[in-house]
Structure 1
Amino acid sequence: MAAGYPLQRVGMDILGPLEKTPSGNRYVLVLTDYFTKWTAAFPLANMEASTVAKVLVEKYVAYFGAPDCLHSDQGRSFEASVVLEMCRLFGIKKTRSSPYHPQGNGQAERFNRTLLDMLSILVDGNPGQWDDMLPFVMLAYNSSVHESTGVTPVIAMLGRELRLPLDVQIGNPPILPNFISNLLTVL
């Protein structure tokens, strides 16, 4: 299940149930780009297909555009008519793992373990606050060099590193006159 460019293939999974937060969230919708390893994670109050479709459109497609292919397990949330219709409207090819080979969505599954580990460190003693920490976990994950690509998911997806507080302290990198050609050599 290789991909040759960003958003060609995105894996989707739901993590949970987790401890219910004051906001009512118990689940996390995880979306992992197979090419860049960019991962987005969104807290959910439930796993209903309408909730999944709404979050996909409003929080992912609205910012990144529609992926060519959306891959998931055979969970009801992903195979319901509302999600399939959303895929049809955006021209997304919907694929799924075989019930006998759930590892077919391995990138999302692996990230779930990583996410749980990272959240457990940040919410130590306050497990009901995991949804408040989720954006910071994602910032850390996407800003870290990925072993399989040798670059951060951020640079692979956006073409540049994020500007973080450390950058303010040490200064911005010099402006590159040939940004696009340099980006192409990195990718």
Structure 2
Amino acid sequence: MIVQDQANDFPVGPEDTSASQATQDQLHKSYRMPDEQARDPALHIAKDWVQKKKLPDMSNITDPQLRRYATLYPKLRLTSDGTLFLEEGTGDDQRLRLCVPAALIAEVIRCLHQHPLAGHLGRYRTYLQAKRRFYWPNMHKHISCAVEGCTTCRQSKERKATKQVPLGQTSTKEHTRFAKFYCDLVGPWPNARGPGTKKYLLTLQDAVTKYPEAWAITDATAENIIRVLTNEFFPRYGVGMTIVSDQGRQFISTLFQHAVKRLGVFTVKTQAYEPKTNPVERLHRTLENVIRCSMENEKVHPTQWH
């Protein structure tokens, strides 16, 4: 089946700023995809099937990659410029995933994992990014091997053996997005010294969507927190929500309590000395890993961590 080109040569859904979108744009700039697919032995034959609208007998197909494309034949689509895609979903969820030639798989994985928008996340999240816009046989295996062999991740990430426990009953009380946020501070950041240097991160995370926000601040004071909330956070999310924080002196200070009360924001304090009661603490571990990996990649000065 031949499909018409959309706004660009890779019609795969709504525009975004994800690592998969950035990788797609990079491929578009660096390669002419119909020619690259034509050089790939498996994709060259698969494109021929789609053009002729005829699939040969499966018993005559011995190559494992070709057999995989043969099973997906009803979903294979060609654009008018000759680029092969895999169609998935229906209606508003319909999207086209680019069939990646074997010669470009390593570059696609590298960009999906190491791009600044990707932040050297783990193999599962890297796979989810790849699955949004790309397809090739044995994707999960290739991505797992590449991520496990990433030198930057091995040098920068903290390795923790997590104990697997049975999943119990969890609360589903929260249903309204952006009505409740978890708030905390991270820092002081190592090597961040001197007047005016950013030493802390102020983080907030939505209780329902888990959408995070983070701002670098110079000192962990109530004045700085209020300044960020009034200039950056409240103008975008409004007021009237609930902010959950620990019992740090910044959050229990009279100044902070008076400011949020005047804005109509409710505050809730977590149990003392129990970090697990504030879910944003888990975000900090991911943020620290992403920052360390980005600093290692870009070879920046330690004071430029933000």
TM (norm. structure 1) is 0.65
Letter in 1 for 2:288: L
CA-based RMSD of the aligned residues comes to 1.8
Match of 2:253 among 80, 89, 92: 80
| Secondary structure in 1 matching 2:305 | helix
Per-residue Cα deviation, 1:104-145 (whole angstroms, up to 9, x for no partner) = 112x100000000000010114232221xxxxxxxxxxxxxx
- Indicate the structure (1 or 2) with the bigger Cα radius of gyration: 2
Q: Does 1:94 align with 2:267?
A: yes
C-alpha separation in 2, matches of 1:103 and 1:67: 25
C-alpha separation in 2, matches of 1:84 and 1:55: 15
**Equivalent in the alignment of 1:7:** 178
**Equivalent in the alignment of 1:35:** 208
**Alpha-carbon shift at residue 7 of structure 1 (Å):** 1.7
**Alpha-carbon shift at residue 8 of structure 1 (Å):** 1.4
Check conservation: 1:32, 1:38, Cα contact below 8 A. Answer: yes
Check conservation: 1:8, 1:68, Cα contact below 8 A. Answer: yes
Q: Does 1:66 align with 2:273?
A: no
Check conservation: 1:9, 1:67, Cα contact below 8 A. Answer: no
Letter in 2 for 1:70: I
C-alpha separation in 2, matches of 1:41 and 1:100: 23
Equivalent pairs, count: 130
Letter in 2 for 1:120: R
**Equivalent in the alignment of 1:156:** none
Match of 1:55 among 225, 228, 239: 228
**Equivalent in the alignment of 2:291:** 119
Instruction: Give 5+ residue unaligned stretches, structure 1.
Output: 132-187
**Alpha-carbon shift at residue 51 of structure 1 (Å):** 0.8
Letter in 2 for 1:75: G
**Equivalent in the alignment of 1:128:** 303
Letter in 2 for 1:128: T
C-alpha separation in 2, matches of 1:4 and 1:105: 18
**Equivalent in the alignment of 1:103:** 276
Q: Structure 1 residues 67 and 121, CA, compared in 2 at 3 Å: closer, same or farther? A: farther
**Alpha-carbon shift at residue 67 of structure 1 (Å):** 5.1
**Alpha-carbon shift at residue 101 of structure 1 (Å):** 2.7
Query: Percent of aligned pairs with the same residue?
Result: 25
| Secondary structure in 1 matching 2:278 | helix
| Secondary structure in 2 matching 1:47 | coil
Per-residue Cα deviation, 1:57-88 (whole angstroms, up to 9, x for no partner) = 11100122125100000001111112111211
Q: Structure 1 residues 40 and 52, CA, compared in 2 at 3 Å: closer, same or farther? A: same
Q: Higher RCO, 1 or 2 (CA under 8 Å, sep at least 6)? A: 1
Check conservation: 1:103, 1:109, Cα contact below 8 A. Answer: yes
| Secondary structure in 1 matching 2:184 | strand
